[in-house]
Amino acid sequence: MAAITLKAVTRRFGTNAAVSNVSLDIAAGEFVALLGPSGCGKTTLLRLIAGFEQLSEGEIAFDGRCVAGRGTHVPPEERNAAIVFQSYALWPHMSVGENVGYPLRVRGVRGTARAEKVAAALAAVDLTGFEGRRPADLSGGQRQRVALARCLAMDPAIVLLDEPLANLDVNLRAAMEDTFREFHEKTGATMVYVTHDQAEAMAMADRVAVMEKGRVLQVSAPETLYREPANETVARFVGNGRVVDCRILGETDGGHAEVQLFGARLVVRCAPGAAHGRDGLLGLKADDLVAGDAGGFAARVRKATFKGSHAILEVEPDAAPGTILPVRSDRMRPVASAVQVAVTDAWLLPRGEADDATEGAAEAA
Ligand SMILES: Nc1ncnc2c1ncn2[C@@H]1O[C@H](COP(=O)(O)OP(=O)(O)O)[C@@H](O)[C@H]1O
Ligand SMILES: [Mg+2]
């Protein structure tokens, strides 16, 4: 395992910055996911770490040793980082055993030593006995496990994975998530896992780095990302959250504030010191809005969908015509009926610099 340090890493293609000023410290043995929509720069960042891509600016270090930047570019084969692609990249004309042993052969490991490493790697991904098969005779999940075994046999300090489950069907993905987690525990390797699927990132990673347009917006443990988004974009993106305007009434203690939302007063969570100013933004998750007959804010049901154990209502607050929010209900309710919506949990978003600037401008006006 090795620690990875990214300092102000930028990669431009022409005038387009695919990766823009990214700084990130990944601890030795940590499992970090890079999460974001297609085109946000995940693959480029992974290729920069692997050494397949040249930096435009910044620096990359492994265990404090500079591998890229400051006039240095350590080639990929000298970085002891293995990369696993969604396309598996197995040799079709080689058997499973030959595929897994290939990088060892290139390194000059021969005979029994190689055979033992290949057998151990295949055992680790539950493919003992598959040595003689061809990749064509395997399922997608098995091929991805061969790719993992090949990576394992090399004993890499760093494992980089680029959407390795993208080609697999949903059922297989869940099983493979377990495989990756076990792989991580067994090897202790530092893992950087690229995905656009937040459930996947949240299920596996110690920390998730949310990316947008080449930038990293927040790096946090999955639960923190969900409960304490750093800004509006993360609040909307993670867990299909909603962001609504509120009036800040005051801070009640270091971690809570009193706010007014659609005419109702409530106490919400916030970062210490975040509850200053008059206008705020609240991050809400569907599970935190509950339909009832008393308390909370008044709203009308606009749509109701039966979900078995509960129903999901889309409601329009009386105080904010045109705003539609998803709300949990223990039963179906008729469209157009009145409902009271309790807010069981909410997060007052920290104020960004841009927000302060707009507020200043609004006050001046
Ligand atoms: N070799 C390249 N030449 C020009 N533009 C590129 C190249 N590689 C990536 N890009 C651009 O950089 C941006 C980020 O791409 P990528 O890292 O592949 O994103 P992701 O993996 O998140 O989908 C995209 O706009 C893409 O078109
Ligand atoms: Mg990609």
Is the distance from the beta carbon of residue 39 to the nearest atom of ligand 1 less than 6 Å?
Answer: yes
Could you tell me if residue 241 is left (phi over 0), alpha (psi between -120 and 50 degrees) or otherwise beta? beta
Contact status, residue 149 vs residue 100, Cβ threshold 8 Å: yes
Beta bridge partners of 250: 258
Fold annotation for 4-227: Rossmann fold (3.40.50)
Is the distance from the beta carbon of residue 5 to the nearest atom of ligand 1 less than 6 Å?
Answer: no
Q: Mean pLDDT over residues 285-312, rounded? A: 94
For the chain, the structural domain boundaries read: 4-227, 237-364
- Ligand 1 atom at minimal distance to the Cα of residue 14: 4
- Take atom 2 of ligand 1 and give the residue whose Cα is closest: 13
Q: Mean pLDDT over residues 232-252, rounded? A: 94
CATH code of the domain occupying 237-364: 2.40.50.140
Residues 178-217: tens digit of each pLDDT: 888 888 988 889 999 999 999 999 999 999 999 999 999 9
One-letter identity of residue 183: F
Residue 358 has pLDDT above 50, yes or no: no
Higher pLDDT, 194 or 126: 194
- What's the chain's average pLDDT? 91
User: Best mutation site among 13, 56, 87, 213 for ligand 1, i.e. most ligand atoms within 8 A of its Cβ?
Assistant: 13
Task: Say what the pLDDT of residue 356 is.
Answer: 43
Residues 138-149: tens digit of each pLDDT: 988 889 889 988
Task: Say what the pLDDT of residue 83 is.
Answer: 87
d(CA 166, CA 343): 36
Is the distance from the beta carbon of residue 195 to the nearest atom of ligand 1 less than 6 Å?
Answer: no
Higher pLDDT, 152 or 117: 117
Contact status, residue 344 vs residue 325, Cβ threshold 8 Å: no
Q: Mean pLDDT over residues 146-163, rounded? A: 89
Residues 254-298: tens digit of each pLDDT: 899 999 999 999 999 999 888 888 999 999 998 899 999 888 999
One-letter identity of residue 247: R
User: Best mutation site among 16, 44, 54, 210 for ligand 1, i.e. most ligand atoms within 8 A of its Cβ?
Assistant: 44
The DSSP line for 147-182 is: HHHHHHHT--SEEEEESTTTTS-HHHHHHHHHHHHH
Beta bridge partners of 163: none
Going by the DSSP 8-state scheme, the letter that residue 349 receives in this structure is P
Residues 45-94: tens digit of each pLDDT: 999 999 999 999 999 999 999 999 989 999 998 998 988 877 778 999 99
Please give the sequence-ordered ranges of beta strands (E in DSSP) within 196-324, or none if there are none: 207-212, 215-220, 242-253, 256-261, 264-270, 279-284, 289-292, 297-306, 311-317
Q: Mean pLDDT over residues 221-227, rounded? A: 96
Confidence category of residue 360, pLDDT binned at 50, 70, 90? very low
